């Protein structure tokens, strides 16, 4: 059991690296060749290209609408962004008509960050899932791909038949098959039905409509800031030569790809919130039977069987969608690291006196502001999830204190209660130790490798603000000024 548990949550750097190669090479032209070299089989390479979208052609693997969308939108956009980046690297600055090549580099970072997130997804695939990608349909097909996507399948798992059931079965296996064990002395629904009821409540919630509005608005804000700053300084918004057009359009499309990483940030916050809601519902059902005898789904905290069933349910719920949780934590960390990278690049321009256009600074600053907002929201939800572990420990300790006080009062008054609470108190102490180790020490909710505690948002924002103030100091000390055409002058 222990080996299977490790296998289920293990991250494969080999799969991540392979996926990163596939994602970053231009589709149709280069990535299929890489697939052929890596897979060492034409059949396997063909299957990989169809399943990963490297060169979709067959309706046996993907719907016709997706194939058309790939060839009409996704592939041309990817080619244009790559062309813009290659143009910046290989062309002489004089052929760019005053366009800052650093803008293309900043914009390409959006696309690279998105591809990095996608590669992380494949890193958390199981052996069976990863092997199926190189196999023919229908062993792996479009619907299975959709189920693995955070923004599709996991955003509304109840709308994808079999997803909730599969994750519940996996969670039960990871927790030691608690749901399949015979239940002794149980009233009302069995443990599996209770757990399913809690998960249904938490995962029935739909993604808020304002998420999409915020994602689109944030990316358009960055793009609008770039275009306006270029226009006001007289720089070419589109261009007149092929090189200028390729770089400008590639820059705009790369920034628009930032909708993906912004959307991932909000989906991470949404998943943290759902998980917290599931834990809140479970913890609220741990009560004395005398308090609410009518609730058949409640767990009696005055009975050892009730406490044991509650802990078993907690282990299953905490393990539900574990690989999705690891991905969500990784995505949030990548998003925040991207903002750190923008701050570092801003300081690089400030302190090294590298020639740049004013619009490049505006892109960096607007990106930092947007990511700081979305990242803070995701961290806030992660902190709420972690705080729930503290809350349940507090409730158990308060109940334990009540039992100790009642026992002391009864002992002092020589009153016989007819009920020995020593066993219950011992179980509560052990449950407290278990929650402390499992959820706070061993496997806490973490961002950037650190436990999501109250000071995390302040620490991250402190780094960003300090970095931006340091950049301002650099601009002041180096005596930078901007000409009417927007270019820096030292």
Checking if the pLDDT of 3 tops 70, the result is no
pLDDT digit string, tens, across residues 361-386: 999 999 999 999 999 999 999 999 99
pLDDT at 302: 85
What is the average pLDDT across 169-186?
Answer: 76
Alpha-carbon distance of 19 to 79, in angstroms, equals 18
Q: Which residues contact 356 (CB under 8 A, 6 or more apart)?
A: 100, 102, 349, 487, 488
Lowest-confidence region among 7-11, 130-134, 398-402:
7-11
Checking if the pLDDT of 293 tops 80, the result is no
Residue 2: which pLDDT band, with cuts at 50, 70 and 90? Answer: very low
What is the average pLDDT across 379-394?
Answer: 96
Pick the more confident residue, 406 or 323.
323
What is the average pLDDT across 196-217?
Answer: 95
Checking if the pLDDT of 312 tops 50, the result is yes
Q: Which residues contact 468 (CB under 8 A, 6 or more apart)?
A: 343, 346, 365, 368
Checking if the pLDDT of 343 tops 60, the result is yes
Checking if the pLDDT of 8 tops 60, the result is no
pLDDT at 329: 96
CA nearest to 446, candidates 356, 379, 359: 379
Query: Are 305 and 184 spatial neighbours (Cβ–Cβ below 8 Å)?
Result: yes
Checking if the pLDDT of 282 tops 70, the result is yes
pLDDT at 181: 65
**Please, what is the average pLDDT of the chain?**
91
The 3-state secondary structure of the chain reads CHHHHHHHHCCCHHHHHHHHHHHHCCCCCCHHHHHHHHHCCHHHHHHHHHHHCCCCCCCCCCCHHHHHHHHHHHHHHHHHHHHHHHHHHHCCHHHHCCCCHHHHHHHHHHHHHHHHHHHHHHHCCCHHHHHHHCCCCCCCCHHHHHHHCCCCCCCCHHHCCCHHHHHHHHHHHHCCCCCCCCCCCCCCCCHHHHHHHHHHHHHCCCCCHHHHHHHHHHHHHHHHHHHHHHHHCCCCCCCCCHHHHHHHHHHHHHHHCHHHHHHHHHHHHHHHHHHHHHHHHHHHCEECCCCCCCCCCCEECCCHHHHHHHHHHHHHHHHCCHHHHHHHHHHHHHHHHHHHHHHHHHHHHHHHCCCCEHHHHHHHHHHHHHHHHHHHHHHHHHHHHHHHHHHHHHHHHHHHHHHHHHHHHHHHCCCCCCCCCHHHHHHHHHHHHHHHHHHHHHCCCEECCEECCCHHHHHHHHHHHHHHHHHHHHHHHCCCEECCCCEEEC
Pick the more confident residue, 184 or 267.
267
What is the average pLDDT across 259-276?
Answer: 95
- Distance set, CA 434 to CA 170, 181, 311, 418 (Å): 21, 20, 9, 29
Checking if the pLDDT of 77 tops 50, the result is yes
Residue 412: which pLDDT band, with cuts at 50, 70 and 90? Answer: low
The pair of three-digit structure tokens given for residue 101, joined into one six-digit string: 């090549």
Chain CA centroid to CA 336, Å: 11
The predicted model scores a pTM of 0.92
- Strand 450-451 vs strand 446-447: parallel, antiparallel, or unpaired? antiparallel
Checking if the pLDDT of 36 tops 70, the result is yes
Checking if the pLDDT of 6 tops 50, the result is no
Chain CA centroid to CA 397, Å: 33
What is the average pLDDT across 423-437?
Answer: 91
Chain CA centroid to CA 140, Å: 24
Checking if the pLDDT of 5 tops 60, the result is no
pLDDT at 419: 59
pLDDT at 434: 93
Per DSSP, what are the bridge partners of residue 299?
286
pLDDT at 121: 96
């Amino acid at each position: 059991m222990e080996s299977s548990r490790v296998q289920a949550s293990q991250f494969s750097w080999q799969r991540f690296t392979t996926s990163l190669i596939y994602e970053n090479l231009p589709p149709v032209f280069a990535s299929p060749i890489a697939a052929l070299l890596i897979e060492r089989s034409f059949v396997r390479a063909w299957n990989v290209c169809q399943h990963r979208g490297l060169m979709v052609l067959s309706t046996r693997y993907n719907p016709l609408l997706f194939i058309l969308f790939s060839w009409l939108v996704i592939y041309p956009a990817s080619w244009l962004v790559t062309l813009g980046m290659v143009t910046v690297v290989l062309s002489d600055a004089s052929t760019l008509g005053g366009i800052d090549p650093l803008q293309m580099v900043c914009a390409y970072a959006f696309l690279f960050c998105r591809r990095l997130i996608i590669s992380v997804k494949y890193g958390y695939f199981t052996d069976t899932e990863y092997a199926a990608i190189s196999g023919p349909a229908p062993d792996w097909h479009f619907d299975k791909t959709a189920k693995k996507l955070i923004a599709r399948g996991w955003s509304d798992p109840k709308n994808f038949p079999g997803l909730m059931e599969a994750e519940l079965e996996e969670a039960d296996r990871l927790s030691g098959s608690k749901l399949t064990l015979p239940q002794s002395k149980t009233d009302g629904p069995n443990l599996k039905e209770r757990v399913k009821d809690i998960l249904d409540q938490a995962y029935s919630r739909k993604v808020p409509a304002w998420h999409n509005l915020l994602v689109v608005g944030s990316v358009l804000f960055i793009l609008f800031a770039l275009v306006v700053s270029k226009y006001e300084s007289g720089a070419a918004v589109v261009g007149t030569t092929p090189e200028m057009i390729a770089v400008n359009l590639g820059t705009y499309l790369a920034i628009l790809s930032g909708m993906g990483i912004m959307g991932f940030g909000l989906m991470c916050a949404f998943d943290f919130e759902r998980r917290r809601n599931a834990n809140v519902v479970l913890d609220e059902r741990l009560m004395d039977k005398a308090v609410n005898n009518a609730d058949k789904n409640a767990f009696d905290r005055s009975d050892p069987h009730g406490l044991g069933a509650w802990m078993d349910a907690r282990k299953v719920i905490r393990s539900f969608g574990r690989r999705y949780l690891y991905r969500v934590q990784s995505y949030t960390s990548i998003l925040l690291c991207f903002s750190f990278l923008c701050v570092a690049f801003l300081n690089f321009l400030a302190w090294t006196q590298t020639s740049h256009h004013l619009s490049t600074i505006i892109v960096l600053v607007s990106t930092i502001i947007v990511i700081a907002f979305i990242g803070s929201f995701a961290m806030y939800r992660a902190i709420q999830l972690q705080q729930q572990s503290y809350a349940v420990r507090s409730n158990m300790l308060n109940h334990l204190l009540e039992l100790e006080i009642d026992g002391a009062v009864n002992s002092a008054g020589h009153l016989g209660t007819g009920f020995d609470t020593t066993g219950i108190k011992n179980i509560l102490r052990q449950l407290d130790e278990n929650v402390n180790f499992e959820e706070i020490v061993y496997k806490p909710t973490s961002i950037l490798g650190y436990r999501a505690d109250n000071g995390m948002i302040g620490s991250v924002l402190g780094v960003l603000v300090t970095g931006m103030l340091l950049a301002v100091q650099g601009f002041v000390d180096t005596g930078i000024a901007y000409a009417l055409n927007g270019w820096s002058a030292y």
